[in-house]
Structure 1
Amino acid sequence: MNNVTTLAPIFASMTEEEIAAASYLARYQGNTRKMFLSDLRIYFEWCRVNGILPLQAKRVHVEFFARHLEEDRGNAPASVHRRLSVIKGFYRIAVADDRMSKDPTTHLKMPKVHYDETRTLGLDRIELGNLVATARASSPIDAALVSLMGLLALRVTEACNVNIEDFSEVERGHRVLRVYGKGNKPATIPVPVPVLRTLEAAAGDRTEGALILRKSGKRMDRNAAYQRIKTLARKAGLSDRIHPHTLRHAAITAALDAGAPLRDAQVFARHSDPRITTRYDRSRLNLDRHAAYLVSGFIAGAA
């Protein structure tokens, strides 16, 4: 009850739209909440400029907002789709909270997002191996950082949040790492012996606390991890365009390249939908197996 009392004056100074937004954003945490907040601010500002109260908006208003994103802001279809998805989520919760009687986005036309499965191949087996070797030669901390993302497919924030005690348990004969992933979902990941040795080397004599540390002794954050990956990539002779998610991408692609069934790769990636995992199947094998080669060879004998 004390928390409710504390929040009362805060809510009293907020508009209905702000309270509705806070109710929606309270469902999320960390960077997801920050991104969704940014998207809502763009929408709320557009509504303000056009004299529209968000909780009184109609479908046509949201349609015009979509055109604003495309034509005025120059957002790509994927960005427009994401921002409209946030708006749809906001209105879904507003209706659930009885702040609106009808969801204006029920029949909203969403932009189609197309994925070319042969683009953005990421790191192949040799390149990922070179990066792992470079990290191991650099320092135990660098080796652990690259191993968590490039071999266990952790997201950069997940890797930075790993504590030493998170991989201290054994479950059904497997040494495991326990993490909280996207949406604060818990996950238990078996740790192969080479990766375990890397993590233990990074921990050293420490038995608890953050595993991945900066030189100052503080926990490494996503920005510092980004810089470390860029530096290690340059040392390994790889493209400057590599960033932390490239390693997770490479791990998932490597699982598919190695012959892991889609279901196993989905579990490894911790994707809620197998179609998301399929997008990572942009491997060299996709081109090797392409039907264009079959058709060319088939017709060559008759040409």
Structure 2
Amino acid sequence: MTGMSSLVPQPRGFIEKSGGAQEFTEAWLANRRLSEHTRAAYRRDVHGWVSWCTEQNLDPLRATFLDVNAYARALEARPMAAATVARKMSGVSSWYDFLVKLQAVPANPVSGADRPYVSRDHSATLGLTPGEVGDILAAADRQHGPTALRDRAVITFLADLGLRVSEACGLDATDVGWERGHRTLRFVGKGGRARRRALTPGASTALDAYLSERGTHPGPLFATATGGRLDRHAVFRLVRKLAAEAGIPGADRLSPHSLRHAFATAARDVGIPLEDVQDAMGHADPRTTRRYDRDRHNLDRDPSYSIAAARARRSPA
């Protein structure tokens, strides 16, 4: 632990000190390459756990897997979706992994806890058909006002590229460029991984229309009226507003992630190989990409048809 004492508080007794848990959490987050959105989520997850421990008069450094189980059951009783509980426990588990490395605790109590089962074959995100995506883009085309061109460009980036909302909001003007005849985006995605994507003609056209108004000066690509960075909450509201104007059922339950799911489904439906879709979306695990593909169980895509057709072509007339 040489050299770490200047970076993190002393582990024993830090919970009792005012702000100690927050200070330790910030040291943990500083050692992770995370987006601001993920960093904020992890911060909330650990704060929730530490607050619950305080209510139970429990020192988090002495918590066992039984305590973690009790916390998970308390979250489920609120009620809270299994996927949300699992995500919160994942954040707390990462926090404890950091404590283990610092020898503040002998083991990670979350490792032995009973985590909620979350099917990798299911996503709670409300999906969109290709026609509904087209309707949202058409609704964006009909907008007027000072933010209309920006909003059209944002929606087109989400629909045509399947970007995460954090990736779209985090883009800077300098991330846009050209490479071997392709209009490109270069940015840092989830997990601190460098990403590169090609703009579609539609995305490029929408971007140029917006840049003609915004200008090409440095700074956030998608900016507010004051020059600040457009945030994810504004994009959530935009997606739902456009979906409602397009008459899409469940518009108030849609999110930017719905467009990301639609991108994966459409790509697979037109025959794009799974690994290419995985790379485009920046997924580390192909199973995640498969979960995003809402049409993966469509019998029209059953490989038996292709195999039978190939066999027929090989057979003599």
Q: TM-score, normalised by structure 1?
A: 0.82
Shift in CA distance, 118/270, structure 1 to aligned 2, threshold 3 Å: closer
1:181 counterpart = 2:189? yes
Deviation at 1:161, TM superposition (A): 2.6
Cα deviation, 1:146-168, whole Å, max 9, x if unaligned, reads 11111111122322232332112
Where 1:178 maps in the other structure, the secondary structure is strand
Give the structure 1 partner of residue 48 of structure 2.
Answer: 42
What is the CA–CA distance in structure 2 between the aligned matches of 1:183 and 1:42, rounded to whole Å? 23
2:68 to 62, 73, 77: 62
1:200 to 198, 208, 211: 208
Shift in CA distance, 118/257, structure 1 to aligned 2, threshold 3 Å: farther
Give the structure 1 partner of residue 240 of structure 2.
Answer: 230
Aligned pair count? 284
Q: Percent identity?
A: 34
Deviation at 1:30, TM superposition (A): 1.3
Shift in CA distance, 157/118, structure 1 to aligned 2, threshold 3 Å: closer
What is the CA–CA distance in structure 1 between the aligned matches of 2:196 and 2:123, rounded to whole Å? 31
> Map of 1:112-261 to 2, 5 A cutoff?
112-114=117-119, 117=122, 122-138=127-143, 139-168=148-177, 170-204=178-212, 206-208=215-217, 209-215=219-225, 218-239=228-249, 240=251, 241-261=253-273
Deviation at 1:65, TM superposition (A): 1.8
Deviation at 1:215, TM superposition (A): 4.7
Give the structure 1 partner of residue 58 of structure 2.
Answer: 52
Give the structure 1 partner of residue 39 of structure 2.
Answer: 33
Deviation at 1:250, TM superposition (A): 1.4
Where 1:175 maps in the other structure, the secondary structure is strand
Whether the 8 Å CA contact 2:173–2:220 is kept in 1: the answer is yes
Whether the 8 Å CA contact 2:35–2:190 is kept in 1: the answer is no
Give the AA of the match of 2:128: L
Give the structure 2 partner of residue 80 of structure 1.
Answer: 85
Q: Which runs of 5+ in 2 are unaligned?
A: 303-317
Whether the 8 Å CA contact 1:118–1:286 is kept in 2: the answer is no
Where 1:286 maps in the other structure, the secondary structure is coil
Where 1:154 maps in the other structure, the secondary structure is coil
Whether the 8 Å CA contact 2:125–2:254 is kept in 1: the answer is no
What is the CA–CA distance in structure 2 between the aligned matches of 1:136 and 1:217, rounded to whole Å? 23
